[in-house]
Each structure stands twice: as C-alpha cells, then as structure tokens.
Amino acid sequence: MGQLIGKLLSSVSWGTKAYGILMVGLDNAGKTTILYKMSMGELVTTIPTIGINIESIKYQNVSFTVWDMGGQDKIRPLWRFYFDNTQALIFVIDSNDKDRITEARDELQQLLKNSELSNAKLLVFANKQDMAKVLTSKEITDWLYLNRLKERDWHVQPCSATTGEGLREGLDWLANALKDNKSSKTTNTTKTNGVGSPQTPRTPRTPR
C-alpha cells in the first residue's frame, strides 16, 4: 500500500493550485508517520516531534504544503502561529487511545473557534485502525462533536499510518474539497465500511 501511494504521488504533476495544510493532534497520534507515508510512501521510524516537520505533497494536480506540528501539551500553544494561510486542517486521532479522546476533542474544538481557521476544511484521520478494539469512525464523530459543525466541510477517514490504508482516500476527499471551495455546499461525512455518509448525532458511550 505504501509503494502504491508513493508511486501515485510521484506520478502526478504539479498543479496550479497550492494549499497550506496544518496537521495537528495529540502526541503519539501518528502524525509524523502519516506525513512521511504520504510524502515518501515509506514507513519511517520517528521520534516525538518537538518543533515542526514540513513536506510538499503532489496529488490530483494539487500541491499540498503540510506543516506537521508536535502534539505535546507544552507545544500546542505554538500551533496558532501557523493558522495564517491554512486552507485545511488535518487532525489525527489515535483510535486506540480511548482514555484521551476527550482531551483530543477539547483541543480540536478550541482550534475550530479560531477565526483564522473559520474557512479551513477539516480532515480527521482516525489512525491505528489496524489495531484491535479501536474506536470506530462513527464513535469518533460523536466524541468530537463533529455533527455540530454545520458551516464547515469535514470528513472522518479511518486509516493506518503503518500500512498506508485509508490515506489515499483521505487525500482524495481533501483535494476535492479544496478544489470545490467555491461551492456553497457543505459536506459532512464519516467514512464507514468504505462509504461516506452524513451521521445522526447521538450521545457518545463512555470509554472503557
């Protein structure tokens, strides 16, 4: 899968559209692994990001400049310095870390309150889906209160940074959402069993 993504990215020519993408999330969510899997098509051994990693990704005649920010609590206040000229936000969730899902929700909701991100598309990568007993994308949608976002394009994509599964589908959605930016239609989807569909809000279950 990683080789497939790498070949796909390298075969697409640079487009005329360039977008700034901010990728954030709690520490150990898998942000940097996702970044290098998308940009290089390889599984790269990483250490916790203290500052920032920057990569350019070519996909569907769209150029993404992705800023991968560290997720430690002392680093999170620095995220705001990269809000300017951010057209899309990638928020990475560790689907296997049920104990920190509320912390992730609070950080995401705080981000979305910022006026500089008011028009930013939101892609949530529900990472580590290759592990057992993880939160489903539907459960993550409920926990993050995404159904309350009525004026923002958002999408939840289950994925595995280690295998690469789901990353291409996430990029597909993001590229199309950015290219269709002039449209007034707001799309809110959760990827479930290969099908993206709007979800009905419900009360989240308490993590075990």
Q: What are the residue numbers of the active site?
A: 72
Return d(Cα 96, Cα 135) in angstroms, integer.
6
**For the CA atoms of the chain, what is the radius of gyration?**
16
Residue 27 in marked binding region: yes
Residue 29 in marked binding region: yes
Residue 6 in marked binding region: no
Cα 91 to Cα 3, 10, 25, 124, 202: the distances in Å are: 24, 24, 5, 5, 22
Specify whether the CB–CB gap between 178 and 121 falls below 8 A: yes
Residue 26 in marked binding region: yes
Residue 102 in marked binding region: no
Residue 130 in marked binding region: yes
Amino acid at 199: Q
Specify whether the CB–CB gap between 100 and 33 falls below 8 A: no
Q: Which residues are annotated as a binding site?
A: 25-32, 49, 71, 127-130
Q: Which residues are annotated as a binding site for Mg(2+)?
A: 32, 49
Q: Which residues are annotated as a binding site for GTP?
A: 25-32, 71, 127-130
